[in-house]
């Protein structure tokens, strides 16, 4: 086990989990960019190249997040960006490490792309619930402790956030 890689993965996990607690789309995306950088370094550092697919899709995700952050600009308004990044996520994960386990990260990052493209934080969180189990399987297979903890916590925290949001909505309806 590469301890330095695992420590970097834990730092990425902390950034990722923090991002889902943000109240605005722009803050979620900004923290996800930072998370992508740190996770890319983490995956590159895993032994025997096992994390290469994870590293590559995280690098693509950084560019994707910037484009989606700028979607109020004319050049970046097109929904075709979503299609392009879904294709890039699928292609880069499979080409970078053509093993069956890479497909799990491919699927995870396609759903993650759909999540980040959502305009409302609630929609982002719903799509993340679909993405995380695929990423969890990948992280178990490549031995990413930070990734395993991250995906587990993301599922739990996102579910708790939904419960809180529904409780708040019900209270507002009763008022």
Task: Tell the residue number behind the tokens 């699927």, with chain if given.
Answer: 107
pLDDT, position 140: 96
Q: What is the pTM of this model?
A: 0.86
Helix H segments across 46-120?
52-69, 80-96, 100-117
Residue 83 pLDDT greater than 70, yes or no: yes
Chain mean position to CA 89: 12
* Model pLDDT for residues 108-117, shown as the tens digit of each residue: 999 989 987 8
Q: Is the dihedral of CA 60, 61, 66, 71 positive or negative?
A: positive
What residues contact residue 160 under an 8 Å CB cut-off, 6+ apart? none
Please state, for a pLDDT cut of 90, what percent of the chain lies above it. Answer: 46
Confidence band, pLDDT 50/70/90 cuts, at residue 93: low
* Model pLDDT for residues 43-59, shown as the tens digit of each residue: 999 988 888 889 999 99
Residue 14 pLDDT greater than 90, yes or no: yes
């Amino acid at each position: 086990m590469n301890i330095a890689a695992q420590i970097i993965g834990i730092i990425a996990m902390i950034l990722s989990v923090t991002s889902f607690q943000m109240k605005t789309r722009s803050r979620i995306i900004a923290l996800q960019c930072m998370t992508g950088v740190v996770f890319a370094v983490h995956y590159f550092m895993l032994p025997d190249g096992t994390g290469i697919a994870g590293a590559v899709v995280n690098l693509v995700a950084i560019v994707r997040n910037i484009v989606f952050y700028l979607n109020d600009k004319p050049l970046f308004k097109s929904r075709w960006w979503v299609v392009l990044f879904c294709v890039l996520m699928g292609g880069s994960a499979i080409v970078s490490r053509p093993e069956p386990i890479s497909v799990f990260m491919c699927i995870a990052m396609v759903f993650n792309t759909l999540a980040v493209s959502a305009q409302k934080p609630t929609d982002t969180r719903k799509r993340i619930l679909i993405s995380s189990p695929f990423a969890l399987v990948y992280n178990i297979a490549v031995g990413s402790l930070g990734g395993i903890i991250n995906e587990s916590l993301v599922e739990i925290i996102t579910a708790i956030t939904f419960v809180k949001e529904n409780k708040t909505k019900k209270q507002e309806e009763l008022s």
